Structure 1
Amino acid sequence: MTTGPALRERTAQWRVGMVIPLRGPAGLFGPSCEAITELAVHELNGARGILGREVAVEIVDGGAPPHEVAAEVRRLVERGAVDAVSGWHISSVRHAIAPVVAGRVPYVYTSLYEGGERRAGIFCSGETPRFQIAPALRWLRDNLGVRRWFVVGDDYVWPHGSTRAIRTFAHELDLRITGETYVGLGSGDMRRVTRQVAAAPCDGVLMLLVGQDAVRFNRAFAAEGLHDRLVRFSPLMEESMLLASGAHATRGLFVAAGYFRSLATGHAMDLLSSYVRLHGPSAPPLNNAAESCYEGLHALAELARRADSPGLAEFNAAIDGTAYEGPRGTVEFRGQQAAQHVHLAVADGYDFDVITRL
């Protein structure tokens, strides 16, 4: 049993288990997620922390197999080492963590995801298909005439759940899904996939690929010369992935997200300035996945302020209507799901040109 100064120090802190990928296809985001987490902690502690307690984080590798991530979170929760859990990680990891934290500590899940999370104590601050993918498909139909889509996804929860929603959107928007293919997370043969795409009667490819998998697909897509005749759209593409893909491999690539580094709003520009001031110009690229971790910590702080308690029951009671201003503009929870502005952008070399707010 922990006693003495160590226990007093822990009690004086609000400790958050930040589950972020340090390996695997999404490990590309890890350095940026860690760097911006440090910024969020710095800001919160400059404003008296959470409920008057200093904020501290415990990094958990969300790129490990889901059962290993859940086991590590369980150890932290059972030791009383964390007061909350947050971070960017894939949906299969969320499903593994959910029963571990149930009824114990608040869990702000920050990634875009397939939607539909209803379990008590899980608060989702990321984008969902209805407000991210559907309006982008409408814009691409109306402005570029893209009506026939081929879906390429990793073979796990988020791509399959999102594709079910996309089929509904296709019916509503008079679009066609002309093919689907799924690859093993971190192990797919992208040359095989691009050959399938090349043979399909489609105008565009809807990418539901994570991190390095999307990078490998972009390279294979360009090597086949498919960017000369097909549009690509992804709800998960950020600046690190552009850099890793290479500018030649991202022509005609459209992305919808709640945040881009190139957003020219006051709060977004303030975030970029603060990030560079803290970490310097050589900091890991600021991107959507990392910024979502910033959102998660600030959402926890606002929830705690509104609940006026660290208790999970009080968080559950306070969630509906909780709102704050940040780099994404106004973020407001409607039940357990946050609503936020979503923007459409097109890749422009190693950055994004934001076209419109959807």
Structure 2
Amino acid sequence: MLMLIDEQNAKGGLQGKKLEPVVVDPASNWPLFAEKARELLEVYEVSAVFGNWTSVSRKSVLPVFEELNGILFYPVQCEGEESQRNVFYTGAAPNQQAIPAVDYLLENEEAERWVLAGTDYVYPRTTNKILEAYLKSKRVADEDIMINYTPFGHGDWQTTVADIKSFGSAGKKTAVVSTINGDASILEKGPETR
């Protein structure tokens, strides 16, 4: 955003005025996002906010933007199923990202069983709810869908992988759709990593 503001200011700004960025950092503290949003809108009187990085941070600021009639541009993929007049959702939603991936796996890889693996969080739960309904609409049976959630920071991947392997051993082609995020998605390389 800072680069874009600099570029616009080099072109003369907007309606003859230079754009002035105001940067705040809620430090990944979800409740602090609402406080910082209020500060941006009331104290700094910003015209628009570009930010938030997680579904929970976005949900925590929505009442502030509605109350103060501010404008938020949310740049990250989101779970959809939300429409707010003060928010421009610019990231991909499941119908733009996850469903095309499932269609590809159904058509090109002929997947018959599905593991929907995600972090126990807003985006994975909502995406998996959408994908489960979509798979059922494609005549995938309940017993051919496994949904697994792990907490943030999860580290017992041996058990999780064993459960997925067991599910996939039924003789049907199995696909895994992962919505695992946060620090649980980081793989540290060590002697046990293959």
Distance apart, 1:190 and its partner CA: 4.2
Task: Tell me if 1:215 matches 2:186.
Answer: yes
Q: Could you state the TM-score of these two structures normalised by the residue count of structure 1? A: 0.47
3-state SS, counterpart of residue 98 of structure 2 = helix
- Of the three residues 124, 144, 157, the one matched with 2:89 is 124
Aligned to 2:151: 184
Corresponding residue for 1:109? 74
2:186 partner SS: helix
Tell me which of 29, 40, 48 is aligned to 2:12. 48
How far 1:153 sits from its partner (Å)? Answer: 1.0
Q: Which runs of 5+ in 2 are unaligned?
A: none
The answer for the alignment partner of 1:206 in structure 2 is 177
| Aligned amino acid, residue 155 of structure 2 | D
Query: TM-score, normalised on structure 2?
Result: 0.82
1:46 positional shift: 2.5
Find 1:98's aligned residue among 59, 62, 66: 62
Q: Which of 34, 43, 46 lines up with 1:82 in the alignment? A: 46
2:154–2:184 CA contact under 8 A, matched in 1: yes
Query: SS where residue 138 of structure 1 aligns?
Result: helix
Partner of 1:164: 129
1:109 positional shift: 0.9
Structure 2: distance between partners of 1:70 and 1:180: 32
**Is the aligned partner of 1:195 residue 2:162?**
yes
- Separation of aligned partners in 2, 1:75 and 1:183: 35
* Identity across matched positions, percent: 22
Report the CA distance between 1:89 and its aligned residue: 0.8
- SS state at 1:167 partner: helix
Do residues 145 (structure 1) and 144 (structure 2) align?
A: no
Q: Of Structure 1 and Structure 2, which has the larger fraction of its residues in strand?
A: 1
1:173 to 1:60, Cα distance in 2 relative to 1, 3 A: farther
Which aligned pairs between 1:231-250 and structure 2 lie closer than 5 A? none
Q: What letter matches 2:102 in structure 1?
A: L
For 1:207, the aligned partner's letter is S
8 Å contact from structure 2 (residues 94, 130) kept in 1: yes
Q: Partners of 2:51 and 2:166 in 1: how far apart?
A: 39
Structure 2 contact 50–75 (Cα < 8 Å) conserved? yes
Matched positions, count? 185
| Residue of 138, 154, 157 corresponding to 1:173 | 138
- Per the alignment, in what secondary structure is the counterpart of residue 41 of structure 1? helix
2:26 touches 2:36 (CA, 8 Å); kept in 1?
A: no
SS at match of 1:55: coil
- Shift of the 171–79 alpha-carbon distance from structure 1 to 2, 3 Å rule, reads same
Q: Which runs of 4+ in 1 moved over 6 A?
A: none
Counterpart contact for 2:52–2:58, Cα < 8 Å = no
Matched, 1:67 2:34: no
1:207–1:214 CA contact under 8 A, matched in 2: no
- Bigger RCO of structures 1 and 2 (CA < 8 A, at least 6 apart): 1
- Alpha-carbon distance between aligned partners in 2 of 1:167 and 1:62, rounded to the nearest angstrom: 34
CA distance in 2, matches of 1:206, 1:54: 45
User: 3-state SS of the aligned residue for 1:206?
Assistant: strand
Q: Which amino acid aligns with 1:58?
A: V
Q: Post-superposition shift, 1:214?
A: 2.2
Q: Let me know the Cα RMSD of the aligned residues.
A: 2.5
Report the Cα offset of residue 127 of structure 1: 0.7
SS at match of 1:161: helix
The alpha carbon displacement at 1:113 in A equals: 0.7
Q: 1:56 to 1:175 in 2, by over 3 A?
A: farther
Structure 1 residues 196 and 47: CA distance shift in structure 2, 3 A: farther
Deviation string 1:304-344 (CA, Å, 9 cap, x unpaired) is xxxxxxxxxxxxxxxxxxxxxxxxxxxxxxxxxxxxxxxxx
